């Protein structure tokens, strides 16, 4: 039964340029199949087919609790608009679904996270790869709930790794409520309850965006991280080696990107902008693509797009470019 927080996508949002009706000139809006889960089931994948299922998380209650700039609740709507004209660079056998959104209502962040987790578990069980558009980074704990439930059923004993492109560790303890700053601490505690290791790599960390307490927590939890200043051509060998070692240590990867990892002039529309964030340069893109070339990513999300604060849709277009790489992979 679909949760009351579910909101189907209006298919009219997927509109854009049409260069023809042959597949070699298709754009995403010509490929996306909008599915209303209140009325129909996800299509069953046939032999030889794969699929990506988009689900939006219309929530910034966690950002609000974390004293951030609200507005990311509108992120999924904006992502659909800017992604509609992306060119199709994947085989016809790949299905691209839009399953709608999970909304946070009545400030019930925890209920929304549970609801999103169940949708993600369903997507994975049906053989699709989820791509979740947020929403604040409270999306991460919701996403983990779904991936964890799926792995417990289908891949018990396998090691899950989390790769987060982010300026922040997001390892705060709930005080007293969880927020957009607590998801990975919550995940660490959940993994501990299950007697499983917490395998977490953060890429893009900024020292002036994290307290010493957060660094201490990261060290206590054996968190791996690569600082933003290391994402340069000069350091590409060291960063690539560190990423490779992490990928080799896990069986599956949940990959999440917080748009505030990027410098403010590239991504002004975020809940907490950073003047000294990273550039989406070739070094960054090589690392990002390497994660997907590993073949271990089973689920992805993009968080913290705040259209109310965006300039010329810079943040949204950058998020769409990352989504393009995710689906193409």
> What's the CA gap between 262 and 276, in Å, rounded?
8
> What's the CA gap between 280 and 268, in Å, rounded?
14
> What's the CA gap between 90 and 329, in Å, rounded?
8
Q: Please give the structure tokens belonging to residue 157.
A: 């004993």
SS3 249: coil
Distance between alpha carbon 187 and the CA centroid of its chain, in Å?
15
| Residue 104 assigned to a binding site | no
Who's near 218: CB < 8 A, 6+ residues apart? 169, 171, 202, 225
The DSSP H or E segment spanning 50 is strand 50-58
| Residue 265 assigned to a binding site | no
| Residue 3 assigned to a binding site | no
| Residue 137 assigned to a binding site | yes
> Any alpha helices (H) in the chain, and if so which ranges?
28-31, 61-65, 75-83, 109-125, 139-154, 183-193, 212-220, 236-248, 282-293, 314-328
Could you tell me the CA-to-CA distances from 280 to 127, 205, 232 in Å, in that order? 31, 15, 10
Residue 95: phi and psi, rounded to 5, are -85, 140
Q: Please give the structure tokens belonging to residue 259.
A: 């748009």
- Cis-peptide into 135, omega within 30 deg: yes
State the binding site.
137, 166, 168, 170, 258, 260
Name the binding residues for Mn(2+).
Answer: 137, 166, 168, 170, 258, 260
């Amino acid at each position: 039964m679909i949760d009351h927080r579910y909101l189907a996508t209006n298919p009219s949002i997927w509109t854009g340029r049409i260069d023809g009706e042959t597949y070699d000139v298709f754009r995403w809006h010509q490929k996306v199949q909008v599915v209303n889960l209140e009325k129909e089931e996800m299509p069953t994948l046939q032999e030889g087919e794969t699929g990506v299922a988009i689900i939006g998380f219309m929530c910034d209650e966690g950002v609000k609790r974390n004293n951030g700039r609200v507005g990311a609740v509108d992120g999924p709507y904006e992502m659909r608009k800017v992604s509609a004209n992306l060119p199709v660079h994947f085989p016809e056998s790949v299905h691209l679904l839009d399953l709608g959104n999970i909304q946070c209502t009545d400030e019930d962040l925890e209920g929304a996270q549970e609801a999103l987790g169940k949708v993600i578990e369903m997507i994975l069980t049906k053989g699709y790869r989820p791509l979740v558009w947020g929403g604040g980074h409270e999306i991460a704990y919701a996403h983990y709930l779904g991936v964890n439930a799926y792995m417990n059923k289908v891949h018990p004993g396998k090691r899950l790794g989390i790769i987060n492109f982010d300026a922040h560790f997001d390892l705060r303890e709930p005080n007293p409520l969880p927020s957009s700053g607590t998801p990975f601490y919550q995940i660490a505690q959940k993994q501990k309850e299950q007697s499983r290791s917490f395998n977490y790599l953060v890429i893009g960390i900024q020292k002036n965006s994290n307290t010493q307490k957060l660094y201490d927590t990261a060290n206590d939890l054996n968190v791996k991280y690569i600082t933003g200043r290391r994402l340069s051509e000069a350091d590409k060998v060291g960063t690539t080696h560190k990423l490779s070692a992490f990928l080799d240590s896990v069986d599956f990867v949940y990959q999440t990107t917080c748009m505030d990892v990027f410098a403010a002039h590239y991504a002004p529309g975020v809940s907490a902008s950073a003047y000294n964030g990273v550039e989406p340069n070739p070094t960054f893109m090589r690392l990002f693509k390497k994660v997907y070339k590993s073949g271990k990513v089973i689920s992805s999300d993009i968080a913290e797009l705040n259209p109310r604060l965006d300039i010329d849709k810079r943040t949204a277009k950058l998020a769409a470019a990352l989504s393009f790489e995710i689906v193409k992979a």
